[in-house]
């Protein structure tokens, strides 16, 4: 005779905020649809315990020029479109992206300095090529980030793009640009609960509403500190569910960038035979990193390889079963 | 509010609203109500009217109800016999004035009479056209500047109304503001002369590119800066038209603007100023007008009078400089220093650098001379910001490798500065000076010891550069949140040195007394430190005057200053709340705080007990305190001591076992100065429980422990405490303690 097991249900007092990326025509933009993330009232995939209105979403990362430093496997996967961000965005949409993350570079394809005008033109073309909501990240140098992001924020006014990345040392200009043109921001801190919370407070103090902030606690790839990142995300989410209002932001993480930095994904030669086929291994590295992170509470995952995207989406679909 | 100002502001308001109504009637009669009213290149209609009333004025006809609303805000001019406060009435009048002024400008735009044409100044080129004043700032420029104002690159804007004493002064004022990256908005006149004329005559370039905007030579054009402020709130504050209160508050707290009234102030200027005050913008006048000092609407003073000729200074230029400084101070604008003007590289990478004797040009302090550093708080009004003075000769005359006396006196002031922060700031001098390439700094107070290398001296490094460094750093982030003004004096003159040495020693003494008098019972708040949560997620340090952080780096005063500097940071005030048990040091405040901030995993905490709910340990504690049950006492192991202890564990093993945010009765990580506190495990018997202690501690803090032993009534207590030189096992410990007749053996059982 089968024993009836009662599943204990935890009652949470808090809930993650909903954040909507992108704006359709009715909402003042030109996206074919907007994407809402967050809203969780329990831990990931525990549908029996609380409401989970939105599944995790995947942003495919594209760059404004061919990213020479990327793995040849990635360059091969996007071969036909890699020199054209607009075509790349379109292709990424076809390959299952929910969102497009456009990363701006320091230099253009000719090796000349990227300028606000060039960045604006890239953004204009990408917006025209895809109907998905956009995230736009700067090259990662304070002055250049600010110069380019202020310009593209103006270009994309009304589109509710996510501008990034805001860090403790440099967030004010990006937040101001988001305020001026109705955008969102990505708030990144180095794997620490309190720092994550503090930057959210600082950004919110500047007047940006909380429903326009994604929390990016950073993470490491599988085998490269993922447990640390996982633990920080988990604690942030627990704090959010316990009612700590400044941690109740949807979480964005970048498993693609992290996983493709790992030796297991990068190296083809001089490794034990047992490691197996390079391409398969690299894709699995990104896939495993990302699937672990959705279990930790990631709402938006930025990924790179179309095949890993497919696999992770499959995993999400399987986990996203509301009847248990 | 000053009765005089109120009277004149209300009178001015009544007159300008009347003027606007007359003008509107005439325009309606001549052009009809459907005539379009727009400011160029803006989506915010007439922004002040939109912001404060929610009305979207697009035609002359739309202005009628707007002006009616302005009229409804008017109050009669106070009669001589009336002595009630007039603040509300005058502020209403100010708002009415702004509505009327904007209506007038709207009508003038409809009639093609704005922006203002300035004949005879062909060099004037603005967004309004060649030979024209600017008119409203367009939306594109608003966003571009707005971003800089919001992110802090631009500290704020100055609306200058009237004309300066001379062209020279006008230029100086504007240059002083420009130097600080403050936007300069110009309008108004005195007897037909405007600062706009003055600057143009002196060849000063005006326009968006130079951040100096001429709006018009009449007072009414002051409405454009206020329109800019209103649109800032609508654009960056996410407010909607009609949210008057929110818009005004946004400006008060986020738009650092002020009005500088140059020359005589007439009724309309008073009325317009009253409008500006509603935005939280203070007014500084260079003429004699009644001051309104109490704060309320603006963050600090409302109206300040600084009669130009009475300002201290050698000449008009220096007076102009002071005037601008005062404006900045009154509005609380923070100005950053981009680069420290010294001839050697500067950065924290140079902090650990040593200057060896052979490479040394000169030293201050050490064995052959004296060096003193003393930071003190002053009333900001007594300080001249940025003043760096050398009293006595520089070191050029001293032979190479020689020594001389120096006193470094830093005087700071600020609205958030407190006397208690003096030692906290003073301690920064060490880090600030050390970061210069070729400078080595050791010690503090009157035992400081500083060396300058030959290389640095060859590059031109001199004593005044100490001043440049200290000024720039104290005025830089994050210290500028408590330091508004700073000046530095470097003293080599023997007489002056003697004088300061006495003053400083007296102050050091006072500080020592103050710290000694700071007890847990004497304060209302403790502070948290959650800095270590990145690796010890459930650890919360509770820091009280008698128990410093367990890393030893933060005491209660440091936390207080750190919280003032960084209000969202890891040091938060914890209200003590109700005292639940004075013996073990349990208060409701810390209990709740620790529970909430330990991810709800540490439910109870005490301040004075190692046995009952002791504080958690992070991992970076200076000393480990551990109960030795056999000896009925505790041992203390310092971080520096690698040897085996009677507990059978080394320091690093214990750090591994008890660290990481765990709460372990019988084990506690502490800062070493807590050992000397009267509250050191006072619930468990206090310092007399110490049966074993690393010799490192005995040797580095002999005086402190001697005092503790005396306080505990056992003057030779330290000699009765075992250390690793005599005892390394618990078996050896007991006979040793009996032999030395340790008091713990006779105390009540710990367990």
Average pLDDT over residues B672-692: 96
User: What is the CB neighbour count within 10 angstroms for residue B157?
Assistant: 25
- DSSP conformation letters of B274-289: HHHHHTT--EEESS--
The interaxial angle of helices A172-181 and B223-236, nearest 10 deg, is 100
- Residues A8-40: tens digit of each pLDDT: 898 999 999 999 999 999 999 999 999 999 999
- B530 touching chain A per CB within 8 A: yes
What average pLDDT does the structure give for chain A? 94
Q: How many CA atoms lie within 13 A of A241 on its CB side?
A: 19
For chain B, give the number of residues. Answer: 751
Q: What is the pLDDT of residue B660?
A: 87
- B601 touching chain A per CB within 8 A: no
Assign B85 a pLDDT band (cuts: 50, 70, 90).
Answer: low
In this prediction the ipTM stands at 0.81
Q: Is the per-residue pLDDT at A55 higher than 60?
A: yes
Q: Is the per-residue pLDDT at A147 higher than 90?
A: yes
Contact B325, B312 (CB under 8 A): no
Q: In sequence order, what are the residues at sequence separation of 6 or more whose Cβ sits closer than 8 angstroms to the Cβ of residue B298?
A: B252, B277, B280, B281, B282
Strands A162-166 and A252-253: unpaired
Domain's final residue, options B81, B110, B139? B110
Q: How many CA atoms lie within 13 A of A52 on its CB side?
A: 19
Could you tell me how many CB contacts below 8 A there are between chain A and chain B?
Answer: 63
Does B644 share its domain with B685? Answer: yes
Across the interface, whether the CB atoms of B146 and A192 are under 8 A apart is answered no
- DSSP conformation letters of B562-577: HHHH-TTSS--EEE--
Q: What is the pLDDT of residue B295?
A: 62
- Residues of A whose CB is below 8 A from B572: none
What residue numbers bound the domain in which B407 lies? 348-509
Assign B517 a pLDDT band (cuts: 50, 70, 90).
Answer: confident
Q: What is the pLDDT of residue A12?
A: 93
Q: Is the per-residue pLDDT at A2 higher than 90?
A: no
Measured between alpha carbons, how far is B635 from B616 in angstroms, rounded to an integer?
A: 18
Does B145 share its domain with B259? Answer: yes
Q: Is the per-residue pLDDT at B751 higher than 90?
A: no
Into how many domains does chain B fold?
4
Q: What is the pLDDT of residue B69?
A: 95
Q: Say which of B146, B151, B533 has its CB closest to residue A194.
A: B533
- Residues of B whose CB is below 8 A from A209: 238
Min Cα distance B479 → chain A (Å) is 16
Q: In sequence order, what are the residues at sequence separation of 6 or more whose Cβ sits closer than 8 angstroms to the Cβ of residue B674?
A: B546, B547, B548, B550, B680
Does B608 share its domain with B714? Answer: yes
Q: Looking at per-residue confidence, does A307 or B334 come out higher?
A: A307
Strands B257-262 and B360-365: unpaired
Q: What is the largest CA-CA distance in chain B?
A: 113
For chain A, give the number of residues. Answer: 324
Domain-located, residue B180: yes
- B236 touching chain A per CB within 8 A: yes
Does B570 share its domain with B617? Answer: yes
Does B217 share its domain with B358? Answer: no
Beta strands in B78-229 (DSSP E): 125-126, 129-130, 157-162, 183-187, 212-216
Min Cα distance B667 → chain A (Å) is 26
Assign A322 a pLDDT band (cuts: 50, 70, 90).
Answer: confident
Q: Is the per-residue pLDDT at A324 higher than 70?
A: no
CATH of the domain at B646: 3.40.1470.10
Across the interface, whether the CB atoms of A173 and B153 are under 8 A apart is answered yes
Q: Say which of A150, A180, A201 has its CB closest to residue B235.
A: A180
Q: What is the pLDDT of residue B3?
A: 79
Peptide bond into B743 cis (omega under 30): no
Across the interface, whether the CB atoms of A209 and B600 are under 8 A apart is answered no
Min Cα distance A282 → chain B (Å) is 30
Min Cα distance A41 → chain B (Å) is 18
User: Which of A143, A181, A207 should be substituted to probe chain B, the one whose Cβ sees the most B Cβ atoms within 10 Å?
Assistant: A207
Q: What are the CA-CA distances from residue B409 to residues A221, B467, B488 (Å)?
A: 52, 9, 6
Assign B83 a pLDDT band (cuts: 50, 70, 90).
Answer: low
Across the interface, whether the CB atoms of A150 and B537 are under 8 A apart is answered no
Across the interface, whether the CB atoms of B148 and A176 are under 8 A apart is answered yes
From B450, B468, B461, B463, select the one nearest B355 (Cα to Cα).
B450
Does B66 share its domain with B184? Answer: no
From B327, B330, B308, B334, select the one nearest B319 (Cα to Cα).
B308
- A13 touching chain B per CB within 8 A: no
Q: What are phi and psi of A128, to 5 degrees?
A: -75, -30
- Residues A106-115: tens digit of each pLDDT: 999 899 999 9
Across the interface, whether the CB atoms of B143 and A181 are under 8 A apart is answered yes
Contact B622, B550 (CB under 8 A): yes
Q: Which residue of B has its CA nearest to A176?
A: B147
- B481 touching chain A per CB within 8 A: no
What average pLDDT does the structure give for chain B? 91
- Residues A229-282: tens digit of each pLDDT: 999 999 999 999 988 899 999 999 999 999 999 999 988 888 898 999 999 999
- B336 touching chain A per CB within 8 A: no
Beta strands in chain A (DSSP E): 18-21, 35-38, 57-63, 99-103, 134-137, 162-166, 184-188, 213-216, 252-253, 300-303
Does B296 share its domain with B414? Answer: no
Domain-located, residue B751: no
- A165 touching chain B per CB within 8 A: no
Domain-located, residue B450: yes
Q: Say which of A180, A193, A209 has its CB closest to residue B146.
A: A180
Does B584 share its domain with B704? Answer: yes
The answer for B 149-188 residues in CB contact with A (under 8 A) is 150-153
Min Cα distance A192 → chain B (Å) is 5
Print burial letters for A161-172: b (CB count within 10 Å at least 16), e (below 16). bbbbbbbeebbb
Min Cα distance A318 → chain B (Å) is 31
User: What is the CB neighbour count within 10 angstroms for residue B431?
Assistant: 12
Positive/negative CA dihedral, B552, B558, B564, B566: negative
- Residues B244-291: tens digit of each pLDDT: 999 999 998 888 899 999 999 999 999 999 999 999 999 999 998 887
Domain-located, residue B339: no
Min Cα distance B573 → chain A (Å) is 16
Across the interface, whether the CB atoms of B235 and A179 are under 8 A apart is answered yes
Domain's final residue, options B331, B356, B391? B331
Q: Looking at per-residue confidence, does B377 or B312 come out higher?
A: B377
Across the interface, whether the CB atoms of B237 and A207 are under 8 A apart is answered yes
Across the interface, whether the CB atoms of B151 and A198 are under 8 A apart is answered no
Q: Is the per-residue pLDDT at B740 higher than 90?
A: yes
Q: Is the per-residue pLDDT at B123 higher than 90?
A: no
- A42 touching chain B per CB within 8 A: no
Contact B730, B628 (CB under 8 A): yes
Across the interface, whether the CB atoms of B236 and A176 are under 8 A apart is answered yes
Domain-located, residue B665: yes
Please report the domains of chain A, with CATH numbers, ordered by start residue. Answer: 18-319 (3.20.20.20)
Domain-located, residue B210: yes
- Residues A85-127: tens digit of each pLDDT: 999 999 999 999 999 999 999 999 899 999 999 999 999 999 9
The listed range with the strongest mean pLDDT (B348-362, B378-392, B451-465) is B451-465
Across the interface, whether the CB atoms of B568 and A198 are under 8 A apart is answered yes
Does B479 share its domain with B533? Answer: no
CATH of the domain at B228: 3.40.50.2030
Q: What is the pLDDT of residue B457?
A: 96
Q: In sequence order, what are the residues at sequence separation of 6 or more whose Cβ sits closer than 8 angstroms to the Cβ of residue A5?
A: none
- Residues B285-344: tens digit of each pLDDT: 999 888 777 666 777 778 888 899 988 889 999 999 989 988 888 887 776 666 789 999
Does B91 share its domain with B140? Answer: no
Across the interface, whether the CB atoms of A177 and B236 are under 8 A apart is answered no
- B478 touching chain A per CB within 8 A: no
Q: Say which of B147, B568, B569 has its CB closest to residue A176.
A: B147
Across the interface, whether the CB atoms of B147 and A202 are under 8 A apart is answered no
Q: Which residue of A has its CA nearest to B154?
A: A173
Average pLDDT over residues A68-84: 95
Does B537 share its domain with B666? Answer: yes
- Residues of A whose CB is below 8 A from B236: 176, 179-180, 207
Q: What is the pLDDT of residue B301?
A: 75
Assign B348 a pLDDT band (cuts: 50, 70, 90).
Answer: confident
Q: What percent of chain A has pLDDT over 70?
A: 99
Positive/negative CA dihedral, A232, A234, A240, A243: negative
Min Cα distance A51 → chain B (Å) is 23
Strands B129-130 and B157-162: unpaired
Domain-located, residue B117: no
CATH of the domain at B105: 1.10.8.190
Domain's final residue, options B509, B544, B576? B509
Does B681 share its domain with B613? Answer: yes
H/E run at residue B364: strand B360-365
Domain-located, residue B517: no
Q: In sequence order, what are the residues at sequence separation of 6 or more whose Cβ sits closer than 8 angstroms to the Cβ of residue B712?
A: B686, B687, B688
Least confident span in A312-321, B518-527, B548-557, B731-740: B548-557
Measured between alpha carbons, how far is A50 from A10 in angstroms, rounded to an integer?
A: 9
Min Cα distance B313 → chain A (Å) is 38
Q: What percent of chain B has pLDDT over 70?
A: 97
């Amino acid at each position: 005779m089968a024993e009836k097991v009662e599943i204990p249900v935890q009652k949470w007092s808090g809930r993650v905020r909903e954040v909507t990326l992108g704006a359709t025509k009715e909402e003042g933009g030109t996206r074919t649809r907007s994407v809402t993330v967050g809203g969780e009232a329990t831990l990931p995939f525990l549908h029996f315990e609380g409401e989970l209105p939105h599944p995790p979403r995947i942003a495919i990362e594209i760059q404004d020029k061919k990213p020479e430093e990327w793995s040849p496997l990635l360059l091969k996967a996007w071969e036909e479109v890699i020199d054209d961000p607009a075509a790349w965005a379109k292709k990424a949409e076809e390959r299952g992206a929910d969102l497009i993350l456009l990363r701006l570079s320091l230099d253009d394809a000719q090796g000349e300095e990227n300028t606000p005008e060039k960045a604006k033109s890239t953004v204009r073309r990408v917006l025209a090529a895809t109907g998905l909501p956009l995230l736009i990240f700067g090259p990662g140098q304070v002055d250049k980030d600010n110069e380019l992001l202020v310009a593209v924020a103006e270009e994309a006014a009304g589109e509710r793009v996510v501008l990034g990345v805001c860090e403790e040392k440099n967030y004010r200009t990006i937040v101001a640009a988001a305020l001026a043109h109705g955008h969102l921001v990505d708030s990144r801190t180095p794997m620490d609960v309190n720092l994550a919370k503090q930057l959210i407070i600082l950004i919110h103090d500047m007047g940006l509403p909380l429903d326009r902030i994604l929390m990016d606690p950073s993470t490491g790839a599988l085998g490269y500190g993922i447990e640390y990142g996982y633990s920080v995300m988990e604690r942030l989410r627990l704090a959010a569910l316990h009612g700590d209002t400044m941690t109740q932001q949807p979480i964005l993480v970048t498993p693609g960038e992290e996983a493709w930095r790992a030796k297991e994904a990068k190296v083809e030669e001089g490794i034990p035979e047992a490691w197996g086929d390079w391409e398969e291994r690299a894709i699995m590295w990104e896939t495993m990193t990302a699937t672990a992170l959705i279990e930790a509470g990631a709402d938006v995952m930025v990924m790179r390889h179309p095949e890993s995207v497919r696999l992770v989406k499959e995993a999400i679909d399987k986990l996203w079963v509301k009847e248990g | 509010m000053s009765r005089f100002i109120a009277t004149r502001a209300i009178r001015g308001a009544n007159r300008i609203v009347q003027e606007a109504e007359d003008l509107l009637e005439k325009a309606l009669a001549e052009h009809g109500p459907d005539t379009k009213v727009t400011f160029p290149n803006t989506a915010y209609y007439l922004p002040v009217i939109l912001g404060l009333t929610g009305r979207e004025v697009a035609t002359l006809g739309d202005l009628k109800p707007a002006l009616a609303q302005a009229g409804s805000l008017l109050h009669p001019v106070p009669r001589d016999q009336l002595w009630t406060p007039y603040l509300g009435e005058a502020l209403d009048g100010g708002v009415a004035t702004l509505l009327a002024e904007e209506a007038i400008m709207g009508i003038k735009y409809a009639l093609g009479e704005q922006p203002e044409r300035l004949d005879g100044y062909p060099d004037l080129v603005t967004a309004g056209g060649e030979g024209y004043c600017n008119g409203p700032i367009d939306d594109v420029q608003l966003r571009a500047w707005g971003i800089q104002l919001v992110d802090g690159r631009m500290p704020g804007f100055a609306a200058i109304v009237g004309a300066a004493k001379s062209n020279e002064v006008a230029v100086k004022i504007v240059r002083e503001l420009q130097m600080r990256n403050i936007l300069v908005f110009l309008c108004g006149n005195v007897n037909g002369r405007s600062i706009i004329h003055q600057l143009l005559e002196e060849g000063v370039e005006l326009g968006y590119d130079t951040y100096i905007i001429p709006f018009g030579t009449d007072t009414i054009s002051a409405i454009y800066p206020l329109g800019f402020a209103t649109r800032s709130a609508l654009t960056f504050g996410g407010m909607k038209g009609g949210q008057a209160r929110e818009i005004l508050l946004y400006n008060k707290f986020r738009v650092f603007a002020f009005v500088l009234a140059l020359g005589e102030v007439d009724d309309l200027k008073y009325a317009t100023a009253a409008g500006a005050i509603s935005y939280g913008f203070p007014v500084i006048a260079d003429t004699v007008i009644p001051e309104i000092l109490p704060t309320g609407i603006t963050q600090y003073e409302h109206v300040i009078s600084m009669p130009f000729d009475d300002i201290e200074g050698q000449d008009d230029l220096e007076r102009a400089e002071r005037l601008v400084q005062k404006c900045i101070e009154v509005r609380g604008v923070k100005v950053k220093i981009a680069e420290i003007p010294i001839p050697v590289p500067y950065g924290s990478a140079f902090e650990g650098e040593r200057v060896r004797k052979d490479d040394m040009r000169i030293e201050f302090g050490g064995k052959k001379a004296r060096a003193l550093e003393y930071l003190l708080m002053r009333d900001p009004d007594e300080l001249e910001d940025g003043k760096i003075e050398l009293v006595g000769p520089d070191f050029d005359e001293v032979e190479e490798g020689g020594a001389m006396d120096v006193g470094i006196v830093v005087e700071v002031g600020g609205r958030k500065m407190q006397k208690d922060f003096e030692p906290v700031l003073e301690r920064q001098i060490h880090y600030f000076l050390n970061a210069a390439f070729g400078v080595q700094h050791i010690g503090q107070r009157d035992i400081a010891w500083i060396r300058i290398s030959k290389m640095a001296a060859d590059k031109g490094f001199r004593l005044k550069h100490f001043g440049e460094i200290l000024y720039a750093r104290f005025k830089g982030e994050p210290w500028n949140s408590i330091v508004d003004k700073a000046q530095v004096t470097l003293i080599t003159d023997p007489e002056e040195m003697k004088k300061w040495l006495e003053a400083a020693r007296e102050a050091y003494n006072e500080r020592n007394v103050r710290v000694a008098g700071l007890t847990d019972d004497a304060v209302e708040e403790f502070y948290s430190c959650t800095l270590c949560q990145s690796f010890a997620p459930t650890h919360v340090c509770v820091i009280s005057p008698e128990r410093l952080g367990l890393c030893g780096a933060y005491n209660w005063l440091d936390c207080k200053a750190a919280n003032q500097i960084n209000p969202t940071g890891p040091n938060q005030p914890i209200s003590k709340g109700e005292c639940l048990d004075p013996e073990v040091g349990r208060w409701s405040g810390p209990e709740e705080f620790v529970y909430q901030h330990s991810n709800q995993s540490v439910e109870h905490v005490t301040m004075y007990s190692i046995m009952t709910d002791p504080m958690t340990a992070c991992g970076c504690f200076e000393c480990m305190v551990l109960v030795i049950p056999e000896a009925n006492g505790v041992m203390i192991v310092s971080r520096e001591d690698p040897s085996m202890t009677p507990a059978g564990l080394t320091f690093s093993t214990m750090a591994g076992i008890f660290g990481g945010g765990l709460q372990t009765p019988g084990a506690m990580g502490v800062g070493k100065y807590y050992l000397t506190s009267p509250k050191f495990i006072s619930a468990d018997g206090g310092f007399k429980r110490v049966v074993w202690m690393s010799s490192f501690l005995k040797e580095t803090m002999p005086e402190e422990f001697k005092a503790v032993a005396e306080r505990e009534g056992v003057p030779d207590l330290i000699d009765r405490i075992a250390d690793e030189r005599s005892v390394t096992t618990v078996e050896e410990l007991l006979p040793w303690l009996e032999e030395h007749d340790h008091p713990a053996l006779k105390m009540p059982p710990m367990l």
